[in-house]
Amino acid sequence: MNTNSLSLCVRELRTEVSRLEEEVLVLQAERHIRQEYKMTGSQEHQQQIQHLEAELAQMQKGFQEMADNIQRSLDVTFNEIDKKTVHLIDEKKQLATERAIKHLDKHSRQEIKENEWLKRELAIYTREVSITALAVQQLEEENLEHMSQLFERRLEDLQISRNVFLTQAAGLGPSDSTVQETVMKSNALKSEKKLSSHAPNTTEGVSSSPVPPLHPATEAWRAQKQAKELERDETSGRCSEAAYRPTEDPLQDLSVLLYGSQTYLQQGDMHLGPLEMKLLTVVGQALPLHPVPSETPGSEGSSSAPGMIQAPEDWPLTSRIIHKRFK
């Protein structure tokens, strides 16, 4: 029993080994085939794949270009069709309008013509208004610049300092006596400068020599001249002091300091320049070029300006038509 069982096991094992050997041979053959494909066939297939991908990309590019060209041509065609349609519609409307106008009365036709004329005039008026607005803006800028220059010149012409001017304008300035002292000091400095200008000057590099005594007549003439100059300086100081005397109203002080007072204009012996004159203003009032004809039935027999035509056939443009067209 043991011998038979062992022989059977050996036989089965041999059968299994032979089967496995056959499978190994088959697998080795497949392995050899796959190795050959890896070495040679895969490269050929890779080249074919790349070639096909390039052809596909070229086809897609050509398709996109064709689609773009077709879309552009389609858009151009649609635009041309739309333009032609709009043009034909406008022509039909124009023809219909002309035919309708032919059947209207003279007054209505004149109103339509006046409406078209008003549209053209409105465009011209709008353009002129924009140009005028730009010119007005430039004039305002120039006016502001001139005002600033006049303001600076007025401050320079004042015989008080800028701090005193600002404090007086704000109502915090000094008293009248302080302003008078400031004006008198400035006048005294001016008189000293004038007297020093009349004194004999010495040049550089030359030794000073004693001044010889003057003739009595010359001394008298010079003393009289200096007295007149001092009197004129005191007079101008009093005038400026009276002109720039501060009041209780700071705004009035500011206007007096900027534009001067009426005393400058009332004194006939003073030579006024353009900076001492007040700024001039021009006030205008809008008036029509010709009176508008009355539209009430009872005013047909009233008198009108010469040259005005009241007939609606000759002059149909009235305020009623304008309000009716533009409301």
Residue bearing the bigger pLDDT, 14 or 306: 14
Where is pLDDT greater, at 152 or 49?
Answer: 49
pLDDT 10s digits, 200-255: 444 444 444 444 444 455 555 666 666 666 666 655 555 554 444 555 555 555 55
**pLDDT at residue number 45:** 83
Do the Cβ atoms of 243 and 222 come closer than 8 Å? no
Q: What is the pLDDT of residues 121-161, one digit of tens each?
A: 999 999 999 999 999 999 999 999 998 888 887 777 665 55
Asked whether the beta carbons of 184 and 237 are under 8 A apart, the reply is yes
Report the distance separating Cα 250 and Cα 168, nearest Å: 7
Which one-letter DSSP state was computed for residue 295?
-
DSSP 134-182: HHHHHHHHHHHHHHHHHHHHHHHH-SS-HHHHHHHHTT----HHHHHHH
- The answer to whether 160 and 179 have CB atoms below 8 angstroms apart is yes
Check: CB of residue 321 under 8 Å from CB of residue 114.
yes
pLDDT at 313: 45
For 18-44, the pLDDT digits (tens) are 889 999 999 998 888 888 888 887 788
Q: Rounded to two decimals, what is the model's pTM?
A: 0.28
Residue that the structure tokens 């053209």 belong to: 120
